[in-house]
Structure 1
């Protein structure tokens, strides 16, 4: 049973990643009105959330790169992987939810952890489940210690909303862990949320990949096949 659960979990998360940012944005769009109401300033929250979702088409862009003769190389962006969204004691609801939307929009599996806002996390998760996001893709983990969660296997990145000391403490803990390098994506400006408005913000939740196809082997340039004769 455990093996089957893990297998299905991976499949569901992979399906979410492969869905594409534009399609993921359509899911999240439906949740914005209710999520915004949780923040205490729905108008400002909607502006922020829509700003993030409006970037979806660019996240799906594929760039054709110059390569060797007889092959094509396409550069694209994809999710980095397992992502934890943490809200510190000083974090506002809007900052936490902004990080959550960014992590989901970019196709990641997300673990939400904000012990000081336990009810908000549960309500946000319920809203997102209701619009079709699987509990395999999004889970709430407020019943565990932050330090314990930071040692989760293959944790790709941690999006932290909080003050400088909270961010530094989490960064230091991650630096002491073994395994893959875990990136920290901080938001400390609780008023202006300026970090979320930078051009590269969403790209921090993603990584670059290249698809290389041997076009000669599939008949893309038949004249090259004659060079050896």
Structure 2
């Protein structure tokens, strides 16, 4: 069994980032099907936990079903010169998932589950409010013999301090619109890679959390091209495609 990423509230920002980056590589490498199996196990175990809203389990199931439709199978795309192109997906990297105190646990679970099934590692705040969710996720990972791709910090201020790190590929936030503006300014001022920013501020209707394509905001696409056709053959096909004789 792989080493589990433990709760580490007092370590430096660099160590947390390194932990999350190290956790991302094996988690992303196991593939969509195995990640779906872990999250299905997580959802199933949550149903037996007292004190956890049944909707938390249901929202995980929902986004796993959508991920199965959207990203589970690579897409074959024949090329114009006879090559084979296979389109698949990959996690973006390290995500920060933030939620204001007493905000929607369902929205938080939706963002978290999409980040994980997409192939990302996650850094979150170690709160009593979400402790049961992560305890059960740890059980699911242990049963599947994979390391839990989640790292913990002591509060949202630490997460905010991590926004400037180039390793952070994206941010998920559950809370109010004013905070979204503040975080968006910080993210926009970053140098290095552009970080995607996914927010849920409608805590009644949960518009973002109910988005059937939400998982697509947590992934990136990659194409593998295989060409075994002779160069001359390719040239002929290209010429025919251009209408040349």
Specify the TM-score bucket, using the shorter chain as the normaliser: 0.7 to 0.9
- Are 1:155 and 2:175 an aligned pair? no
Give the Cα separation in 2 of the matches to 1:121 and 1:47.
16
Q: CA distance change for structure 1 residues 130 and 171 in 2, over 3 Å: closer, same or farther?
A: same
TM-score, normalising length: structure 2: 0.75
* Counterpart contact for 1:112–1:139, Cα < 8 Å: yes
- Are 1:105 and 2:117 an aligned pair? yes
Report 1 or 2 for greater relative contact order, CA contacts < 8 Å, sequence distance ≥ 6. 2
Match for 2:89 among 72, 77, 81?
77
Unaligned stretches of 5+ residues in structure 1: 1-5
Give the Cα separation in 1 of the matches to 2:152 and 2:23.
17
The CA deviation at 1:141 is: 1.5
Corresponding position of 1:207: 220
Match for 1:146 among 159, 170, 182?
159
User: How many residue pairs get matched?
Assistant: 212
Corresponding position of 1:120: 129
Q: CA distance change for structure 1 residues 157 and 65 in 2, over 3 Å: closer, same or farther?
A: same
The CA deviation at 1:210 is: 0.7
Give the Cα separation in 2 of the matches to 1:21 and 1:199.
17
Give the Cα separation in 1 of the matches to 2:119 and 2:138.
15
The CA deviation at 1:88 is: 2.1
SS in 1 for 2:168: coil
SS in 2 for 1:145: helix
The CA deviation at 1:52 is: 0.8
SS in 2 for 1:85: strand
The CA deviation at 1:183 is: 0.7
Unaligned stretches of 5+ residues in structure 2: 1-16, 237-245
* Counterpart contact for 1:38–1:120, Cα < 8 Å: no
Give the Cα separation in 1 of the matches to 2:233 and 2:136.
56
Alpha carbon RMSD of aligned pairs, Å? 2.8
Corresponding position of 1:45: 56
- Are 1:131 and 2:140 an aligned pair? yes
Q: Deviations over 1:168-207 (max 9, x none)?
A: 2111111112211011011112223221222321100011
Q: Deviations over 1:72-91 (max 9, x none)?
A: 11112221111111112462
Corresponding position of 1:87: 99
